[in-house]
A = this chain, B = another copy of it.
Amino acid sequence: MTTPLKKPEQRPASKQRLRFWLRLLKLQRHMEAVIREKLRAEFNTTLPRFDVMAALYHHERGLRMSALSSVLKVSNGNVTGIVDRLVLDGYVVRVPVKGDRRAMVVRLTNKGRDDFSHMASVHESWVDDLLGELSTDEAEAMMASMDRLNQSLGEQT
């Protein structure tokens, strides 16, 4: 019992938080790379396009471009270009806003809703497989911690 155990002082909290962040990034990047590749291979689509359709799917009445960009604010990609392409492909329409002649919202078409709904359920099964190791209790505990962190980030930034 001579050699002293490494105490927490030798691993200050900031080092631990950095390791935590790098671990989280590794998990996120790995999963995102797999999901991007699956979206490409199975649906010939991209993650930013999937994200735009997801946002519109959850806002049935449509969103103004500014609101759409805001919902996707921490996502990437050129939202205008993605929407233009979705319009050309028949998944999205631009419609005037009642009572505001100059305003338009973008909205999924029925074809867009059906198509996204299918992709979303397949996407859910990918995530389920990728995270198969995660127990219910672990998931709940981590989500509670992440919620607190997300809230604190929202207050800080």
Q: Which residues of B contact A28 (CB under 8 A)?
A: 24-25, 28
Is the beta-carbon distance between B156 and A129 smaller than 8 angstroms? yes
**In chain B, what residue has the closest Cβ to A33?**
B74
Total copies of the chain: 2
Stretch touching chain B among A83-91, A98-106, A107-115, A142-150 = A142-150
A18 contacts chain B at the CB level, 8 A cutoff: yes
For A120-157 the 0/1 string (1 means CB < 8 A from B) is: 00001101111111101011111101111110111011
Q: Which residues of B contact A32 (CB under 8 A)?
A: 25, 74
Q: Residues of A with Cβ closer than 8 Å to B?
A: 8, 13-21, 23-34, 73-75, 124-125, 127-134, 136, 138-143, 145-150, 152-154, 156-157
Known: A14-B127, A29-B74. 6 other contacts (CB 8 A): A17-B134, A21-B131, A26-B74, A27-B150, A33-B74, A142-B142
Return the contact of A20 from the options B14, B25, B131, B156 (Cβ within 8 A): B131
Bound CA–CA A138/B25 (angstroms) = 17
Bound CA–CA A129/B152 (angstroms) = 10
Is the beta-carbon distance between A153 and B30 smaller than 8 angstroms? yes
Is the beta-carbon distance between B153 and A145 smaller than 8 angstroms? no
Is the beta-carbon distance between A133 and B147 smaller than 8 angstroms? no
Return the contact of A148 from the options B19, B124, B133 (Cβ within 8 A): B133
